[in-house]
Amino acid sequence: MLRSWRALLALAVLIVVVVLWAIGKGDVVMAVVLGALVLITGRTMFRSYSVTKGPTGPAVDVEERGRLLVYACETCGEQLVLLRRGTDAPPRHCSEKMVLRHVDVPDRELN
Ligand SMILES: [Zn+2]
């Protein structure tokens, strides 16, 4: 049923295209085709931006004795100390994913 409905729609579109072309409105057809192409390309390129990875569970403490978990930006050098982890996805800085590093710190310097 759905297949025949789609075939009918495709046939209708084809007839409209042929009629428009026949009466000298080929530029309208080209405009619609180009518009559809731009729309499809844009949706494909920006699909990843609308898909957000949410937290996989409750946030957990990531405390390690004598060590700090540090997210570092390899572009500008900014560093963030990670205290609680809510998701495995790394934060972004300078449009790049930050890199997780384990930094050794003597216990007395943490307090
Ligand atoms: Zn940065």
10 within some domain: yes
Ramachandran bin of 94, using left for φ above 0, alpha for ψ from -120 to 50, beta for the remaining angles:
left
Number of structural domains in the chain: 2
- Pair of tokens at residue 87: 């998701």
* Whole-angstrom distance, CA of residue 84 vs CA of residue 97: 18
109 within some domain: no
Question: What pTM, to 2 d.p., does this model score?
Answer: 0.49
Residue 74 sits in the same domain as residue 36: no
The rounded Å distance from CA 24 to ligand 1 centre is 55
- Domain boundaries, position 78: 60-104
Mean pLDDT over 63-88 rounds to 90
- Pair of tokens at residue 13: 């579109």
The rounded Å distance from CA 68 to ligand 1 centre is 19
For residue 53, pLDDT over 70 is answered with: no
Residue 41 sits in the same domain as residue 67: no
For residue 72, pLDDT over 90 is answered with: yes
- 66 confidence band (pLDDT: 50, 70, 90): confident
Domain edge (last residue) among 13, 30, 50? 50
Residue 6 sits in the same domain as residue 46: yes
Helix (H) or strand (E) holding 80: strand 79-82
The rounded Å distance from CA 25 to ligand 1 centre is 52
For residue 1, pLDDT over 70 is answered with: no
Among 19-23, 47-51, 65-69, 75-79, top mean pLDDT goes to 75-79
By the CB criterion, residues less than 5 angstroms from ion ligand 1 are: 73, 75-76, 78, 93-94
55 within some domain: no
